[in-house]
Amino acid sequence: MKFFIDTADIAEIRELAATGIVDGVTTNPSLIAKSGRDMIETIAEICDVVPGPVSAEVAALEADKMIAEGRRLCEIADNVTVKVPLTWDGLRACRTLADEGKMVNVTLCFSANQALLAAKAGATFISPFIGRLDDIGLDGLELIEEIREIYDAQDFDTEILAASIRTVNHVKDCAKIGADVATLPPAILRKLAEHPLTDKGLDAFMADWAKTGQDILKG
């Protein structure tokens, strides 16, 4: 499973990209607004830091304008992925942009039939929002499972990009059920490496090592 990070914060992206486990980035209008920065400049900087797909979302609601915005966003860098909403206009824009060879991420997916439509429209990625489904008492992971089953049965190569991830268990479960990508808020990505027994074990190793008085670099 690929790891994308779900942020427009360039400092976070630089720091996490240095770990070598960041395969891409997703942004949305809310994340751009939170950054307080110019969208085009921000996407250009992110694309410089992360060579993998960087999702930049259109702001238009009407297909022709979405297509124009998508083309403009793709001029920023080769790794820009145009993000369009799962509406009929978004699907129309997806088909046109995909036919032009552009990567398209269809976002705000909350049902398996919506995911089926996105694949039919040539989406590179479909973004089911699992946390927001959990928020209303539904099961986000069940949606990922249904989409996996449909895409496998129908031989679609659209990648399932699990979004709206809120917990470390979401990450593990998405990996188990075959999501192709998970886009993680930076705080969740950091938490994946944490375990109290790792900290405790390392403290004990360091205390014992100090007693030896040795230095590996001077050996």
Using the rule CB under 6 A, give the single segment among 10-18, 127-135, 143-151, 191-199 that binds ligand G3P.
127-135
Q: Which entry of 2, 34, 65, 83 is annotated as an active-site residue?
A: 83
- The torsion angle over the Cα atoms of residues 38, 51, 187 and 30, rounded to 10 degrees, is 30
Alpha-carbon span 9 to 27, nearest angstrom: 9
28/124 with CB nearer ligand G3P:
28
Burial of 36 (0-12, 13-18, 19+ CB in 10 A): exposed
Would you say 129 or 151 has its CB closer to ligand G3P? Answer: 129
The answer to whether the CB of 197 falls within 8 A of the CB of 162 is no
Binding residue (CB under 6 A) for ligand G3P from 129, 141, 145, 170 = 129
Q: Which among 60-68, 126-134, 139-147, 206-214 is the span making contact with ligand G3P, rule CB under 6 A?
A: 126-134
- How does DSSP assign 147-177, residue by residue? HHHHHHHHT---EEEEBS--SHHHHHHHHHT
- Residue in 3, 9, 25, 26 binding ligand G3P, rule: CB under 6 A: 26
- 9 in contact with ligand G3P (CB under 6 A): no
Nearer to ligand G3P, 79 or 127 (CB): 127
To the nearest 10°, the Cα dihedral for 168, 3, 93, 149? -70
Which CB, 92 or 132, lies closer to ligand G3P? 132
- Is 83 catalytic? The answer is yes
Q: Which residue has its beta carbon closest to ligand G3P?
A: 164
Q: Tell me the one-letter amino acid at 199.
A: D
Angstrom distance (rounded) from CA 27 to CA 125: 14
Judged by CB under 6 A, the chain residues 162 through 181 that form the site for ligand G3P are 163-164
Residues with a known catalytic role:
83
Residues that bind ligand G3P (CB under 6 A): 6, 26, 28, 129, 131-132, 163-164, 183
